[in-house]
Amino acid sequence: MEEITISKASIKDVTTLQVIGKQTFFETFSASNTKEDMEKYLTENFTVEKITREVNNLNSQFFIAWQNDEAIGYLKVNEGNAQTELQDNASLEIERIYVLTTYHGKKVGQLLYEKALEVAGVQKKKSIWLGVWEENPRAIKFYEKNGFTAFDTHIFKMGKDEQTDILMRKTL
């Protein structure tokens, strides 16, 4: 296996983040959602404008996983008011760990998760948290293996479909 590197993303990486985001979201969730809901979500949530705003948010950071010159996944973390739920200053949110399907099982997600832990450590956070779809057992198992426990749920709107995300936290 060739070496995987992680680099902090900047505004010049918006298109890369858009491509990976759309592809991984589609690969992971299209079989469980209607074509209409999937198209609507991808169209609204992976625009260059939206990702540019996210990259420019000082309370969010993106990191891209690379194998040679190919982007194979990314991490988005949020602190403060950029967090989607808790907005707890002592916590860091992992909003996204997206890895291309062909790289599942190759420790890319683990490397991105470890980058999130590093960011939380530098920022002296007391906990790290995230939301994961209740019907994504692979991701739930990954987070449980890394010491996360469920503490609440929330509703995620996927088009017309209301889905339940499990909120999970790890105390640092």
- Residues catalogued as catalytic: 143
End-to-end Cα, the chain, rounded Å:
31
Q: How far is CA 110 from the centre of its chain?
A: 12
Can you name the residues that pair with 64 across neighbouring β-strands?
Answer: 7, 74
Q: Do residues 77 and 64 lie in contact, with contact meaning Cβ atoms separated by under 8 Å?
A: no
Q: In angstroms, rounded to a whole number, what is the distance separating the alpha carbons of residues 116 and 76? A: 8
Beta strands of the chain (E only): which ranges?
A: 4-8, 60-67, 70-78, 91-99, 127-133, 149-158, 161-171
Residue 26 is encoded by which pair of tokens? 């589609």
Nearest residue to 135 (alpha-carbon basis) of 98, 166, 168: 166
Which residue is it, tokens 């609440």? 152
